[in-house]
Structure 1
Amino acid sequence: MMAISLRFSSNTARATPQARRTPFSVADILASLSDAAARNAGLAATIAILAALCGLQALALLHAPEAWLPAAITVKLAPGESIVLGQHELAAPQADRNHLSLRRDAQDGWMLRNLSASRQVVLMRDAGEQRMGSVPLQAGQRFQIDSALFDVQAADAGSVTFSRDGHEWRYDGAVLYRDGRQQANCPQSHVASKMLSFWNRYAPGVLTISRPLSFGGNLYCDNRLGLVQVTPGAAQLARSNGRLQLSAGNPDGDRAAVLVLNGGVQSDLRKQEAALAGVNAIVVGHTRFQLNADADRLTLKPSRHIKLFGGPELKLPEQVSWQWQQRALWDDGHAKAVWIGLATSIACIAAGLAWTAVRVRGGAANLGMLPAAGCVLATGVIALISQRAGYAPSAASSLLLAACSLLLWLALPGRLTLLAAASVVLLAAGLLAQLELGLGAPESSWLRYYQKSAALLAIGLGLGAMLRLWALRQAARGTHLRQRSIEWMLAAFATVALAALAAQVLWGDETGVFDLQPVELAKLALTALTAHCLALRFNWHSGPQRLAEQGARWLQLIAPALLFVALLGLSLVQVDDFSPLILLLVWSTVMAFAYAVAARNHKLAAALIVMALTAAGAIVYLRCVGTDDLIRWGFYADRFLVWLNPAEHPHTGQQLLLGARAIADGGWLGADHWMGLRSLGMSAGSAVHIPAVQDDFAASFFLNRHGLAGGLLLWVAQAAFLAGIVVSAARAYKAGAGAGGFRHAWSGRFRYFMLCGGGAFVLGHFLLSWGTNLAIFPIMGQPMSFLSAGGSHLLFFLCPLLAFSAISAPSLEGE
């Protein structure tokens, strides 16, 4: 098999016998760094901008006002006494005003009841979780929804069978059967719902996708069990903690009584009361409380989503007392290991720079940064694990970790490219915006986005740095990967991506699975497979001519199409908007244009340009025509109606209206008229109330804080990043076109298509996010690359793309 390599070379020459190996001083290091900066003005400018952005983050921490929160909430009740607690008493921002009732019973001890009509209370025991207002069904029980009475005939972990009015119903967590037959699809069901119903009917039980059974309404269809004069959604039956549990629903209309009859005991799920004996923690409105119950007092220690106060003073009921603590921005508390890792990382980076400064002409200089990359990676892992364990690192240590990661990326051997410089600036600007949002929000949990982004950035850039150093070493040794090895690696990558997508369909939702977004990994796999196959396509005529081998090559070329279909199916089944479809359309158009340029197919290139202009004209047309013709579009029409007339849809158009108001308040110079410099670390104001402001509407907060002038600077950096992608791709295409052998030609073409595909996805994110925030497009949920707090997008797409581009850039110098 012909060998194919991605060649790498450094801009440093080989070591000579005269290379300096004598002891060095700090002055020598500083002089070498000064000479290097003088020789590379771009590097000096990038370091200056990075230092300014990191300095603004440090200034935000210094300017942040004092904030207080309860470390413990103590409730004292006499036997037989009760109290109602809610948002104010629990410091739980997302709880109702009167959310739960606590009662101290003389015999059963502390008792709890959920008073909220729309938000649940979760009790956490060693044996599992219990959602208030729900109960697992058992054989022999009866349950009643309003006046409809059902008899439970059989129930286990897999299914439950019940009967009413001569009909037998069986529900297995995914499909509802009436008298042994699956119900038909509901009228006007979407394609995604029909596909899901078809899959659940014929797939094995372990592969079915869970769907709740809804009681109420007038329709018997799909997973709806109609009940006359009962509001749809009055009750639900769904799988939870490995059991099928009946719970009181949250209908839009009048609420129906949901009763469970077990022998002679009758309980109303809407008024369910549970004993706190054996309960370790409760979750109220997304705020988690550790419980410690004594004879006459109950102590709740809140964590996550805690309301912040300007001072340790608050009027509380007589039975409730708080133990105050101040928000810590500099002290890590239990996360001391992060500071140890940071100190080690800084020392390793300094030692690596010193080693490089002394061995200025040696290939061994490339090895000096390897310990630094390993330390940054390990510190990022420690920070992420600490945060997931409940001991998040401080904002100051996260700032230092992010700065070390970006400095490491700039300090690695190789010439700085426009793409690398722009990406470092965009990453630092995004971290600044996330820190400002975390400090300006009125609750403690908002800082977690900044802390998570800093940890993931350290992991991504640490891995990328080690990969770059490995590539440089491979190039120095003259070794390369064979084509068969590359194809096996791409096949394994695609398999992992498809398995992750399947996991999201089976166990996740449109927000991801296991706190991850597999679609980001799938986008990278799709781009890599497509780049490989398009690179092979240009040498199709020089390949094997036997029929069997031709068939194998065709399978190689259609592999990206299979992954594309999988992504398309996920978009239709799991996502409620059409943003993934638009993203895939942008990517397909750019890849087709890149192919047309490489193949010198001017007709195809012209057709794609006309198509893009037509799409832009269609947007203008929709703006001018109005909404009369959109009503018949069905499901997706709602988003267009909200986009065109948000004032007529104040509820669904809340994001658009609040985002527009925040941008208008920012003006040209920001809400503080100083491009956000005077408001660093201060309150974020009403902008924090924009739904998904940390993700989809991060640009609205940025424009509110830093104004359109700051937005223009951000656009310049984004344009520089895309221009850097184009320049690197053009150089790769030129290297491939001018190569003398198949190996070098494939390598250049692969880098060309890979960079074009990765840049196309980033362009799509920029277009969708700016279009959503500026009301150019209907609301579509996609994070803005580099700016939004999208952890999976950063770790699984942006960091690998930056690593690949950095590895490809020096390889072009040697070809």
Structure 2
Amino acid sequence: MPANFKKLDWVLFLSIMPLLAAGLISMKSFDFSPQGAGDYFFWRQLIWIGLGLILFFGISFADLRWLRFALPLILIYFAVNLMLAALLIFGQETKGAVSWLKFGAFSFEPSELVKIILILILAKYFSRRHIEIANFKHIIVSGLYAFLPAALVFLQPDLGSAIVISALWFAMIMASGISKKHFFILVLAAILLASLLWFSFLEPYQRSRIYSFFNPYLDPLGAGYHTIQAKIAIGSGGLYGRGIGFGSQSRLEFLPEHQTDFIFAAYAEEWGFLGVTFLFIFFALVVWRVARTGSLLNDNFGRLYAVGLGALLVAQFLIHVGMNIGFLPITGLPLPFVSYGGSSLLVFFLGLGILMSLKINSPFSAGER
């Protein structure tokens, strides 16, 4: 065990701590609001962080070499997708979506877990067929692996997670060495699919969010409200921020979902540009350590898993920040390690724990030795 502790990437682990602290401080600052909800979010998030750390270390020091075998991965993959399908039939609607499994006072979002499972299944698939990736058949088969959870999540409806799942597949396809010809075919297919979704499957409120992205002031009290309030919050933060507990947009409840979907805007209002820079630096450090660990692993499965995990972190970070600053339509994704919520937090700790397990239980390149 002492030797395994030395193999753990402590730079990666310590880089997560400021992100967790930023989220906790933001949630505690909500306690200054008239509703005084910050204490509720703060203590529950602290519990989730404790559970996440236990999960991280437990997974990191577990021998997960069995993940390299196809059968257990496929069984887990279909089990999680079965949960997603069951939600559509038996799930209870919350905030317009059936995304949560209820366990007494707690709830869990399977769409978060399926992202990690998809990364594992694609890493396994491409690690066996990286030489044959020029065969378009393998692109189609891998696309079907991604399509099933993306479709089930989209039907909840959770457009943000469906986009992230699609982005994961695309990133891992690119890392596996797709040809330029197949790349352009996929881009064309994506455009056609987006058109089909727009005209046939998007809910009216999802379309209105996209319309409001181009001009939120067309409906300032409706679809454009979230974007306008988020921009006001970020702009009022200035260089140094308004101070902890003095963010009027979140304190006076003008900014909706400021503990989850819009925590970046709430954080930026209180901490300003310098605080945002601090957040970006530590998040970039986390992504860099994930990429570095992947580059040192001597097998394709581990490397591709690191690519997928890095893509997941970057996609959720960019989409969350992009929708907060008005560069992207609102899709409702948490900010990794910062937003309130046990499902997302536990899944990211799980994902990093798996990477650490691959690092600890795999030989490294000559450069690492």
Whether TM exceeds 0.5 here: the answer is: yes
Kept after mapping to 1: 8 A contact 2:153/2:161: yes
Equivalent position of 1:782 in the other structure: 333
Corresponding residue to 1:603 among 172, 180, 191:
180
Match of 1:691, SS state, is coil
Deviations 1:199-233 (A, max 9, x none): xxxxxxxxxxxxxxxxxxxxxxxxxxxxxxxxxxx
Q: What residue in structure 1 maps to residue 122 of structure 2?
A: 530
1:159-308 map, 5 Å: none
CA distance in 1, matches of 2:211, 2:9: 47
Equivalent position of 2:196 in the other structure = none
Question: Residue 432 of structure 1 is aligned with which of 17, 25, 28?
Answer: 25
Partner of 2:211: 641
TM-score w.r.t. the length of structure 2 is 0.80
1:572 aligns with one of 114, 137, 154: 154
How many residues align? The count is 338
Q: CA deviation at 1:634?
A: 8.6
Residues in 1 aligned to 2:145 and 2:187: alpha-carbon distance in whole angstroms: 24
Q: 1:768 offset after TM fit, Å?
A: 1.0
Which residue pairs with 1:657 in the alignment?
228
Q: Distance in 1 between matches of 2:211 and 2:130?
A: 46
Structure 1 residues 602 and 506 mapped into 2: Cα distance closer, same or farther (>3 Å)? closer
Q: Distance in 2 between matches of 1:805 and 1:432?
A: 28
Distance 2:230 2:121 in 1: 38
TM-score by length of 1: 0.38
What is the aligned partner in structure 1 of residue 15 from structure 2? 422
Change (3 A) 1:750 1:497: same
- Secondary structure (helix, strand or coil) at the match of 1:713 reads helix
Q: Note the C-alpha offset of 1:440.
A: 2.4
CA contact (8 A) 2:7 2:360 kept: yes
Shift of residue 567, structure 1, vs aligned partner: 1.9
Counterpart position of 2:278: 713
- Distance in 2 between the 1:468 and 1:722 partners? 17
Structure 1 contact 468–806 (Cα < 8 Å) conserved: yes
Q: Which structure 1 residue ranges, 5 or more long, are not aligned?
A: 1-363, 368-411, 475-479, 542-553, 616-629, 736-747
The change in CA–CA distance for 1:605 and 1:715 in structure 2 (over 3 A counts) is farther
* Post-superposition offset of 1:703: 0.3
**Residue type of the partner of 2:60?**
R
More strand by share: 1
2:249 equivalent in structure 1: 686
What residue is the counterpart of 2:295 in the other structure?
730
Query: 1:520 aligned to 2:112?
Result: yes
Distance 2:77 2:125 in 1: 13
Q: Name the residue aligned to 1:618.
A: none
Residues 115 and 165 of structure 2 are in contact (CA less than 8 Å); yes or no, is this contact kept in structure 1?
A: no
- CA gap 1:470/1:573 in 2 versus in 1, 3 angstroms: closer
Secondary structure of 1:730's match?
A: helix
CA distance in 1, matches of 2:363, 2:14: 18
Tell whether 2:253 aligns with 1:670: no
SS in 1 for 2:336: coil
Seen in structure 2, the aligned counterparts of structure 1 residues 440 and 564 have a Cα distance that, compared at 3 Å, is: same
Q: Which amino acid aligns with 1:495?
A: F
Shift of 1:532: 0.8
User: 1:659 touches 1:687 (CA, 8 Å); kept in 2?
Assistant: no
**CA separation in 2, counterparts of 1:645 and 1:482?**
47
1:700 has 2:265 as partner: yes
Distance 2:276 2:67 in 1: 46
Q: What one-letter code is carried by the residue in structure 1 that aligns with 2:324? A: N
Contact 1:434 1:449 in 2 (8 A): yes
Structure 2, unmatched stretches of 5+, are 192-198
Which AA in structure 2 matches 1:564? A
Cα distance in 2 between the residues matched to 1:662 and 1:470: 43
User: How many angstroms does 1:664 deviate by?
Assistant: 1.5
Contact 2:260 2:339 in 1 (8 A): yes
SS of residue in 2 equivalent to 1:728: helix
> Which of the pair is proportionally richer in helix?
2
The answer to whether the 8 Å contact 2:175/2:307 transfers is yes
Kindly provide the CA deviation profile for residues 410-435 of structure 1, in whole angstroms up to 9, marking residues without a partner as x: xx442535433322332232222222
Match of 1:458 in 2: 50
Distance change (3 Å), C-alpha of 1:415 and 1:490: closer
Cα distance, 1:683 vs structure 2: 4.9
Distance 1:433 1:718 in 2: 17
3-state SS in 2 of match to 1:696: coil
Deviation of residue 639 (structure 1)?
Answer: 1.7
The answer to whether the Cα contact below 8 Å between 1:417 and 1:724 also exists between their aligned partners in 2 is no
SS at match of 1:776: coil
Q: Deviations over 1:42-64 (max 9, x none)?
A: xxxxxxxxxxxxxxxxxxxxxxx
Q: Which has the higher contact order (CA 8 A, sep 6+)?
A: 2
Letter in 1 for 2:180: K
Q: CA deviation at 1:651?
A: 1.6
Structure 1 residue matching 2:101: 3-state secondary structure: coil
AA of the residue aligned to 2:350: P
Task: Give the alignment of 1:64-75 within 5 angstroms.
Answer: none
Contact 1:441 1:683 in 2 (8 A): no
- Equivalent residues of 1:449, 1:789 under 8 A apart: yes
Q: Distance in 2 between matches of 1:669 and 1:656?
A: 22
